[in-house]
A and B are shown apart, each in its own frame.
Chain A
Amino acid sequence: MNGWYGRCLRVNLTEGRHKIEKLDGDLLKNFLGGRGLGVKVYSDEVSPQIDPLSPDNKLIFSSGPMVGTGAVTGASCNVVTRSALTGTLACAKMRGHFGAEMKFAGFDMIIIEGKAETPVILSIMDDKIRLIPALEYWGRSTSETEDKFKENLGDQWIARETFLVTIGPAGENLLPLANIVNDRFLSVGGAGIGAVMGSKNLKAVAVKGQHSLKVSDGNRFVQVVNTMINKLNSAPLTSQSMPQWGSAFLVGLCYQKGILPGNNFQKASVSLRHIGTEALEGAFALRSRGCFSCPIACIKKTDIKHHAYEGKGMIPTYLAIGSLGTNCGVSDLSIIGMTNMLCAEMGLDPVATGGMLATAMELVERKIATPEELKIDIRFGNGNGILEALRLISTKKGHAKRLGQGGKILAESFERPDLFMGVKGMPLSPFDPRALQGMGLHFATCNYGSHHLYAYTFIDELLNVNENLDPSEIKGKPGLVKLYQDTTAVMDSLGLCCWPLLGLKFKNFVPLINSCLGTNYSAEDLLFIGERVWNLEHLFNMKANFNKSHDVLPLRFTEEPISDGNGGEKVSRVNEMLPEYYYLRGWNEQGEPMKETLKALGLEDSSCQG
Chain B
Amino acid sequence: MPRIKIDHTKCTGCRHCEIACSLNHVANTANPRRARIRVMKDKNRYYPVISGPFVDAACTSRHIIEIDGHRYDMCAFCRASCPEKPFFIEAETGIPLKCDFCGIPPSPSCVRWCNTGALELVEE
B14 interface neighbour in A215, A221, A294, Cβ under 8 Å: A294
On whether the beta carbons of B115 and A214 are closer than 8 Å, the reply is no
Give B20 Cβ to nearest chain A Cβ, in Å.
7
A294 contacts which of B16, B85, B87, B112 (Cβ < 8 Å)? B16
**Interface residue? A229 (CB, 8 A):** yes
| CB of A49 within 8 Å of the partner chain | no
CB distance from A503 to the nearest CB of B (A): 12
A293 adjacent to B15 (CB under 8 Å):
yes
B86 touches A157 (CB 8 A): yes
Q: Give the docked Cα–Cα distance between A210 and B92 (Å).
A: 9
Neighbouring A residues of B87 by C-beta, 8 Å: 157
State how many angstroms separate the Cβ of B96 from the closest Cβ of chain A.
16
CB distance from A163 to the nearest CB of B (A): 11
* Any A CB within 8 A of the CB of B41: yes
Given contacts A222-B23, A292-B14, contact A215 B32 (CB under 8 A): no
Q: How far is the CA of A287 from the CA of B111 in the complex (A)?
A: 21
Assess the A70–B30 pair: CB atoms within 8 A.
yes
Q: B52 interface residue, CB < 8 Å from A? A: no
Q: Quick one: which of A70, A215, A225, A288 has the most chain B CB within 10 A?
A: A70
- The size bracket of the interface on A is 35 or more
CA distance A287 to B23 in the complex (A): 28
Q: Interface on chain A toward B: helix, strand, loop, or mixed SS?
A: mixed
A160 partner residues in chain B, CB cutoff 8 A? 40-41
Contact B31 A212 (CB under 8 A): yes
Instruction: Give chain B's interface residue range (CB within 8 Å of chain A).
Output: 20 to 34
Contact of A213 among B15, B16, B29, B40 (CB under 8 A): B29
CB distance from B75 to the nearest CB of A (A): 8
Residues of chain A contacted by B85 (CB below 8 angstroms): 157
Bound Cα distance from A362 to B19, whole angstroms: 50
Q: Does the CB pair B116–A288 fall under 8 Å?
A: yes
Is there contact, CB below 8 Å, between B24 and A210?
A: no
Assess whether B98 is interfacial by the CB under 8 Å rule.
Answer: no
The smallest C-beta distance from A53 to any residue of chain B, in angstroms, reads 36
> Any chain B CB within 8 A of the CB of A295?
yes
Name the CB-closest residue of A to B75: A156
Is B61 an interface position by the 8 A CB rule? no
Please indicate the chain B residues that have their CB under 8 angstroms from the CB of A97 in the complex.
15
A297 CB within 8 Å of chain B: yes
Contact B14 A297, beta carbon cutoff 8 Å:
yes
Known interface pairs A69-B19, A157-B85, A293-B16; A216-B28 also in contact (CB < 8 Å): yes
A371 interface hit (Cβ, 8 Å): no
10 shortest interchain CB distances as A-B pairs = A290-B14, A70-B19, A295-B115, A290-B12, A297-B12, A212-B31, A218-B28, A213-B30, A210-B33, A293-B16
